[in-house]
Amino acid sequence: MFLPNKNTPRWVIFTIDVVLTIVSLSISYLIRFDFVNIDRRLWENEYQLLLTSFPIFIVVRALLYYFSKIYAGIIRYTSTEDTKRLFSTVSLGTLIFLLISFIKNTFYDSLNFLPISILITEYLVTLFLLLTFRITVKLLYVENKKSNSNTIKTLIYGAGKMGIITKNTIDRDASQEFEIVGFIDDNKNKMGKMIERCPIIGIEKLSHWVNDKGIKHVIIAIKNPVKENKRALINESLKNKLKISTVPPVEKWLGDSFNVKQIQKINIDDLLGRDTIELNKENIANQLQNKIILVSGAAGSIGSEICRQVLHYDPKKLILLDQAESGLYDLEHEFKKNDFKQNWEIVIGDITNYVRMKRLFSHFKPDLIFHAAAYKHVPLMELNPAEAITTNVEGSKNLIKLSDKYNAVKFVLISTDKAVNPTNVMGASKRIAEVYAQSFNAHSSTQFITTRFGNVLGSNGSVIPLFKKQINDGGPITVTDKNITRYFMTIPEACELVLEAGIMGNGGEIFVFDMGQSVKIIDLAKKMIKLSGLDEDDIKIKITGLRPGEKLYEELLSDNENTLPTHHDKILIGKVNQYDFKSISPKIDSLIEEANKQNNDKIVKKMKEILPEFISKNSDFTKFDN
């Protein structure tokens, strides 16, 4: 069927509405006189009344149509809001006619404006004709779109308000090739029902619909999906080689309205992320509000997210400390753009520079310190042990000592799962920093707390950005071992738990986060290839072998024998070896001195003396293991 692509001029729609109104009045009179049995004398009386009333009738209707702009919408995209406006406009006109009738009958000539039966019938018929006109045009365009062989048959995950808005927005956009043929929803009570002529199905029927209906695309448009169900949908979609897109949260819609251009590719975070964490926000607010808070490593992935979250709790002052000026510049621009309250200050400085750090502490006197600054790349630190010790150990020591000196309330050290039974220099350096903070806690009024978690999705230098780049470059994706596994957590989730653990800690604890199930990196690579709309014939996976110091499996001390529960089910207290500060401190000082001399072998030997559990793997430093 041929239908014009361009929108019909508004004056044409306005004219059609007026003509339909005249037709509805004519139909009303035909109904009044039973169509054929017209009493001539009665009609003559009615005709005279109609002659005087018709000009007013048509002017009132036309003016209301004009000012309410019911003609201004694109007819083929008529929505519920358009229907409400049309109903209100026609109803207002009829109320005006009834008011005129009352005034005319009571105060003028004892006659109505038009017979009441005509007014009621005309009201109903006008509504019917105007709505039928719009619905007919809309249905013709829908059927015409369905008959177009170039459309992409699409399902929307989410049969709620967000899903319906997504469907209506797509239907209104003539440039879109999506043809919405149904909804997927988790609510069993909705299954088998229809929304706007589109059936609602469950995830288990997706494969059948792919084969039977030719589904090519799934759009996720649901406000708070159960993560387990969402992952099941994504896995089922990938299995059926469907393209997957998602609609951003409502708070990120442009101008509080949804635009088709905002539909974006599904993120790997959505596949690995878990249910929303419930935090004790009142307690966090009590601890952070009106406090001076220092975040080291503020330009990094974890540090910057901690800053974002802390600012929501209205601190007295937030100090963003880092030596990476470009990252701080970007963060400054972001905060200004988002209109954050100007209660933050950027400080460029190196945590290994004690004089600079002392000046910072003496000036700001922070109440709480979140220490996220560190070197974290395993292969690079394996080649540069001196830098690992200088930054991760000496830098941490500087901040720990200064926190005590200037009476900070709490110090939260952000550590890593690689500190558990370390097999590389980086993990061992973080474990030594943990040891220093935990042992120093007994000699200070400051509460020193350690938080430990695994990999965070999308952090700088992590496997996710690397895989994305390799896919964009055409491959191959490099995986060190087909059996290697890692724990993953989203950046916001990790930082939320850092805040919660930091608040609940009393000093001396090492908090371990529940990272969920470990993920095989090769499976992650395969899913990322599929999410990119490609397959393993397009992007090859290359096994490169374990890197120096790299573990096959990471550990978190998350089993019941090595942890104690807390009030939060995702935060546990790790049971680890306790060190006496007076005996361990000289050894750590000696290690730092050795790092200043830049002798890698002697540095690693001393690390292994401090940490007997430090057993190198796939590294030149295995020669120092007993």
Catalytic residue numbers read: 418
User: In whole angstroms, how far apart are CA 349 and each of 86, 397, 408?
Assistant: 64, 16, 19
**E strands, 317-401, where?**
317-322, 344-348, 368-371
Structure token pair of residue 333:
């621009």
Distance CA 197, CA 65 (A): 29
Geometric angle at alpha carbon 225, from 313 and 570, rounded to 5°: 55
Task: Give the orientation angle of helix 40-68 with respect to helix 80-107, to 10 degrees.
Answer: 130
Count CB neighbours of 150 within 10 A.
7
The 3-state secondary structure of 448-513 reads EEEEEECEEECCCCCHHHHHHHHHHCCCCEEECCCCCEECEEEHHHHHHHHHHHHHHCCCCCEEEE
DSSP string, 181-245: EEEE-S-TTTTT-EETTEEEE-GGGHHHHHHHH---EEEE--SS--HHHHHHHHHHHHHTT-EEE
3-class DSSP state of 376: coil
Distance CA 215, CA 139 (A): 22
Count CB neighbours of 40 within 10 A.
6
Buried b (16+ CB within 10 A) or exposed e, 385-412: bbbbbbbbbbbbbbbbbbbbebebebbb
State the amino acid at position 158 in one-letter form: G
Distance CA 185, CA 202 (A): 6
Q: Which of 375, 430, 451, 439 is nearest to 401 (CA)?
A: 439
Q: Are the C-beta atoms of residues 390 and 350 closer than 8 Å to each other?
A: no
Looking only at the bridges linking them, the beta strands covering 447-453 and 510-513 are: parallel
Distance CA 88, CA 94 (A): 10
Distance CA 585, CA 590 (A): 9
Distance CA 310, CA 153 (A): 44
Looking only at the bridges linking them, the beta strands covering 217-220 and 152-157 are: parallel
Distance CA 314, CA 312 (A): 6
The 3-state secondary structure of 131-187 reads HHHHHHHHHHHHHHHHCCCCCEEEEEECCCHHHHHHHHHHHHCCCCCEEEEEEECCC
Query: Side-chain half-sphere of 6: how many Cα atoms within 13 Å?
Result: 3
Residue 534 CA to its chain's centroid (Å)? 24
Q: Is the dihedral of CA 69, 73, 76, 81 positive or negative?
A: negative
Structure token pair of residue 498:
């850092």
Structure token pair of residue 237:
């979609």
